[in-house]
């Protein structure tokens, strides 16, 4: 480590400012996108893996099956890369997955109570796949579809365009919906996700990415020592079924106050009804400056051992911070590693859960002629 960086690290540990490795710290490489076969689905559709590498050598592997982020290699404070995204070695792993590892979620990320909602006087009933709720788009949501893929890289920036056409009535949702997701690995060490959707009939939409992160490396223990900051004064409390009650509650004085960076472990076992309902953190925070036309800071996570920092920025109004409570050791992930309880966390940028049944929440209705746009950025740094 050069003197300048030593000084910056010392400074950062006092001020808690993230430091991005200077160019030159790691040898620069030519940004590329490589396509390789990832296998065939059980019903015989070929699927590819796209390997995006930026000039600092960060690497994102994305498949057009479910738009899934299969692997994400980012440096620690010594410049050593590790794969920090939970996932599987094979396509079959993803076809059987029930935890949504790395996937694009749609049409509706998160829960809809009783799987029911009403649009223009018509009540729609979605298949229930989470107790009495519909969760993450249904039985075969966007995470289980083969998307059409196109390389839209520029010389500096590898980028993958994915597109999926969801039929009218698919999984119970009205309207034929055309969805586009563009993944870009920027030279600012960001994985940027741009979502676009249009419909031919009034419908609802809430798209997100369901990556589970472990900044110490996927499969290398639990995430309880990670320090989390969430830029939210308020959250949406839930009932026992994890459906929001409709209240928007201040985080002040609760274990949900992450306005200052706090270890996940610090309060997760407190005797708190919301934590009990979530079996830990599994809630939607109301981002303070959410709903902008450009992304606002939503959350920042720091892992002290590796020094890795993940910042999440979004145009969405909310973020589901999920502490991997339902991981239970039954998943054998990449490199044969077992994912036990709380081995990964998610920051699912989103509209609030069950919005179609809460008119006071920001609307998830998409009308014909309108275009749904949203952007989320996961930015990687070290401290």
Q: Which residues are catalytic?
A: 210, 348
Site string for ligand BGC, 240-279 (x = CB under 6 A): --x-------------------------------------
| Nearest residue to ligand BGC, by Cβ distance, number only | 326
Q: Which of 100, 256, 321, 372 binds ligand BGC (CB under 6 A)?
A: 100
What's the closest the beta carbon of residue 202 comes to ligand BGC, in angstroms? 25
What's the closest the beta carbon of residue 79 comes to ligand BGC, in angstroms? 33
Under the binding rule (CB under 6 A), the answer on residue 282 touching ligand BGC is yes
What's the closest the beta carbon of residue 324 comes to ligand BGC, in angstroms? 8
Count each helix (H run) and each strand (E run) in the chain, helices first: 3, 29
Is the Cβ of residue 50 or residue 322 nearer to ligand BGC in the bound state? 322
**Non-local CB neighbours of 383 within 8 Å, separated by 6+ positions:** 9, 12, 13, 16, 17, 18, 19, 77, 302, 307, 309
Under the binding rule (CB under 6 A), the answer on residue 313 touching ligand BGC is no
Please give the Cα distance from 345 to 340 (Å, whole number): 12
Is the Cβ of residue 143 or residue 315 nearer to ligand BGC in the bound state? 143
Sign of CA pseudo-dihedral 237, 241, 243, 246: negative
Is the Cβ of residue 104 or residue 149 nearer to ligand BGC in the bound state? 104
Under the binding rule (CB under 6 A), the answer on residue 354 touching ligand BGC is no
Token pair belonging to 353: 């859960």
The DSSP line for 57-116 is: --EEEEESBTT-EEEEEEE-TTS-EEE-B---SSHHHHHH-SS-TT-EE-SB-SEEETTE
Under the binding rule (CB under 6 A), the answer on residue 38 touching ligand BGC is no
Number of residues that bind ligand BGC (CB under 6 A): 9
| Rg of the chain in Å (alpha carbons) | 20
Tokens 């934590």 appear where?
Answer: 275
Please give the Cα distance from 108 to 16 (Å, whole number): 36
Under the binding rule (CB under 6 A), the answer on residue 316 touching ligand BGC is no
Under the binding rule (CB under 6 A), the answer on residue 99 touching ligand BGC is yes
- What phi and psi values does residue 265 have, to the nearest 5 degrees? -65, -20
What's the closest the beta carbon of residue 93 comes to ligand BGC, in angstroms? 16
What's the closest the beta carbon of residue 258 comes to ligand BGC, in angstroms? 17
Under the binding rule (CB under 6 A), the answer on residue 212 touching ligand BGC is no
CB atoms within 10 A of CB 95: 16
The DSSP line for 302-318 is: E-TTT-EEEEEEESSSE
Under the binding rule (CB under 6 A), the answer on residue 281 touching ligand BGC is no
Judge contact between 139 and 131, C-beta under 8 A.
Answer: no
What's the closest the beta carbon of residue 45 comes to ligand BGC, in angstroms? 24
Per CB under 6 A, which region of 174-182, 249-257, 320-328, 329-337 contacts ligand BGC? 320-328
- For 147, which DSSP code? P
Under the binding rule (CB under 6 A), the answer on residue 190 touching ligand BGC is no
Please give the Cα distance from 22 to 25 (Å, whole number): 6
Burial class (CB in 10 A: 0-12, 13-18, 19+), 64: buried
Site string for ligand BGC, 45-84 (x = CB under 6 A): ----------------------------------------
Under the binding rule (CB under 6 A), the answer on residue 132 touching ligand BGC is no
Interface contacts to ligand BGC, rule CB under 6 A: 99-100, 110, 242, 282, 320, 322, 326, 348
């Amino acid at each position: 480590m050069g003197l300048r960086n030593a000084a910056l690290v010392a400074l950062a540990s006092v001020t808690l400012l993230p430091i991005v490795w200077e160019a030159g710290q790691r040898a620069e490489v030519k940004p590329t996108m490589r396509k390789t076969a990832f296998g065939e689905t059980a019903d015989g559709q070929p699927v590819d893996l796209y390997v995006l590498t930026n000039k600092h050598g960060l690497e994102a592997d994305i498949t057009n099956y479910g738009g899934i982020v299969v692997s994400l290699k980012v440096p620690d404070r010594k410049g050593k890369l590790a794969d920090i995204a939970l996932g599987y070695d094979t396509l079959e792993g993803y076809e059987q997955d029930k935890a949504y590892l790395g996937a694009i979620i749609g049409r509706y990320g998160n829960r809809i109570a009783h799987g029911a909602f009403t649009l223009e006087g018509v009540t729609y009933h979605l298949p229930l796949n989470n107790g009495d709720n519909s969760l993450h788009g249904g039985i075969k949501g966007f995470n289980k579809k083969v998307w059409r893929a196109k390389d839209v890289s520029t010389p500096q920036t590898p980028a993958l365009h994915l597109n999926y056409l969801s039929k009218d009535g698919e999984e119970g949702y009205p309207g034929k919906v055309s969805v586009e997701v563009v993944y870009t690995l920027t030279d600012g060490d960001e994985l940027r996700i741009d979502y676009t959707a249009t419909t031919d009939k009034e419908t609802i939409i809430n798209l997100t990415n369901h990556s589970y992160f472990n900044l110490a490396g996927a499969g290398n223990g639990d995430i309880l020592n990670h320090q989390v900051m969430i830029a939210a004064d308020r959250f949406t409390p839930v009932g026992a079924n994890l459906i929001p009650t409709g209240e928007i509650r201040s985080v002040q004085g609760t274990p949900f106050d992450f306005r200052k960076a706090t270890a996940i472990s610090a309060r997760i076992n407190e005797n708190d009804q919301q934590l009990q309902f979530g079996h830990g953190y599994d809630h939607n925070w109301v981002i303070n400056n959410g709903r902008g036309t450009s992304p606002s800071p939503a959350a920042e996570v720091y892992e002290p051992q590796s020094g890795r920092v993940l910042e999440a920025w979004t145009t969405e109004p909310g973020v589901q911070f999920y502490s991997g409570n339902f991981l239970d050791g039954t998943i054998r992930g990449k490199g044969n590693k077992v994912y036990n309880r709380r081995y990964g966390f998610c920051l699912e940028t989103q509209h609030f859960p069950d919005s179609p049944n809460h008119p006071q929440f920001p609307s998830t209705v998409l009308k014909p002629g309108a275009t749904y746009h949203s952007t989320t950025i996961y930015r990687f740094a070290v401290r």
